[in-house]
Amino acid sequence: MKHRNLPIEIAGSVVEPGQRKRLEIPVARLPTGTWLALPIVVVNGAKAGPNVWISAAVHGDEVNGVEIIGQVLEETEPAALSGCLLTVPIVNVFGFNAQSRYLPDRRDLNRSFPGSARGSLAGRLANLFMQEVVLKCQFGIDLHTGSNHRTNLPQVRANLHDEETRQLAEAFAAPVLMHASAIDGSLRKASTAAGIRTLVYEAGEPLRFDDAAIRLGRDGVLRVLAALKMRRTAPKRKANHSELVEKTAWIRARHSGVLRLDTQLGARVAAKEKLGVVADVFGDDAWPVSAPSDGIVIGHTNNPLVQQGDALIHLATMAPEGAAPASLLATAGD
């Protein structure tokens, strides 16, 4: 017989076992006098289990995760849940309202963790989220999309050298799985330093819903909860396993101009294969964009106007079949 779960307190509000509660934690007052609040839905299961947080819109223009969390909540009832689920669909409430990646002071919230109660606006918001949500959990899932007009193939980034984190990343079952270093100031680095195993899901582009990426993200989160024995059932996988990435690299523009892309997310490409051209507005002075090696396209820009040096196509080199996680190289972080 499973033991009863425990009450959990968030910002002075107690959520009892078997209860779902929506909370709003005041963050800051705008110059207009209006308060902005951090919206949280806590689902405290009737049975004992781990505490897990799920966050989205740490970058305010990354909206796929907002919908993923909504759909996960539709599938989650307190009576059938073991443990506690803390969901925060909009962490960067300032950026979300302004449809911006950043905070009003132009700081990147995902470079401001763990934050400080006496710091900048970004530092204070990061500290509030850490104290009231992250540090009350043992596991976390942070949902992101590409940035700056870029789109990402659905992928999970995590510390695959940690066995339990790797098992959860594999349970998510995204098409691509990579061992990624955590960047200073990122939520994943701060939570990992606090002993909380954390996954980052990247899929789609800013300010756009991608239905396929949302469905995959929803199902991946539910599979992770099932792997943690918080749920009895899990959505079926579409593939036997995620493909492991050995390393990644961006193909950059050698010249400024108009990009005409001839590839797509998930495409398998061969070394020297032509993936597009950069030319002037008349199509003259064309420079071919070619793959430097065999790989899979895991991201690309959607903006056809490019400057010399701009990142155009994100190419992943896949690990050999059966490669051990310890042999993987750290790729670009969160």
pLDDT tens digits, residue range 68-117?
Answer: 999 999 999 999 999 999 999 999 999 999 999 999 989 999 999 999 99
Q: What was the pLDDT predicted at 233?
A: 95
Number of helices and strands (H, E) in the chain? 6, 18
- Residue 176, helix vs strand vs coil: strand
Tens digit of each residue's pLDDT (9 = 90 or more) over 227-272: 999 999 999 998 888 999 999 999 999 999 999 999 999 999 999 9
**CB neighbour list of residue 106: distance below 8 Å, 6 or more residues apart:** none
Whether the pLDDT of residue 330 is over 70: the answer is no
Helix (H) or strand (E) holding 225: helix 211-227
Q: What was the pLDDT predicted at 143?
A: 98
Tens digit of each residue's pLDDT (9 = 90 or more) over 181-204: 889 999 999 999 999 999 999 999
Record the tokens describing residue 114, joined without a space. Answer: 């763990």
For residue 176, is it left (φ>0), alpha (ψ between -120 and 50) or beta?
A: beta
- For the entire predicted model, the pTM comes to 0.95
Q: What was the pLDDT predicted at 313?
A: 98
Q: Which of 2-16, 49-63, 213-227, 259-273 is predicted with the least confidence, judged by mean pLDDT?
A: 2-16
Could you state, in order of their start, the residue ranges of all structural domains in the chain?
A: 8-227, 246-321
- 334 residue type, one letter: D
Q: Could you confirm whether domain 8-227 is CATH 3.40.630.10? A: yes
Q: What is the mean pLDDT of residues 51-63?
A: 98
Whether the pLDDT of residue 2 is over 60: the answer is no
How do strand 243-252 and strand 311-318 relate by DSSP bridges?
antiparallel
More confident residue, 320 or 72: 72
Q: In the predicted model, what is the mean pLDDT of the chain?
A: 95
Residue among 26, 131, 110, 112 nearest 60 (CA): 110
The CA radius of gyration of the chain, in Å to the nearest whole number, is 21
- Residue-level length of the chain: 334
Residue among 111, 196, 194, 198 nearest 156 (CA): 198
Helix (H) or strand (E) holding 313: strand 311-318
Record the tokens describing residue 262, joined without a space. Answer: 């001839």
For the four alpha carbons of 60, 66, 69 and 70, in that order, the dihedral sign comes to positive
Helix pair angle (211-227, 64-74), 10° resolution: 50
The CA distance from 3 to 129, in Å, is 29
For residue 304, is it left (φ>0), alpha (ψ between -120 and 50) or beta?
A: alpha
For the four alpha carbons of 255, 259, 260 and 262, in that order, the dihedral sign comes to positive
**CB neighbour list of residue 21: distance below 8 Å, 6 or more residues apart:** 13, 15, 41, 42, 44
- Residue 211, helix vs strand vs coil: helix
Whether the pLDDT of residue 165 is over 70: the answer is yes
Whether the pLDDT of residue 133 is over 80: the answer is yes
CATH of 246-321, one of 3.30.750.24, 3.40.30.10, 3.40.50.300, 2.40.50.100: 2.40.50.100
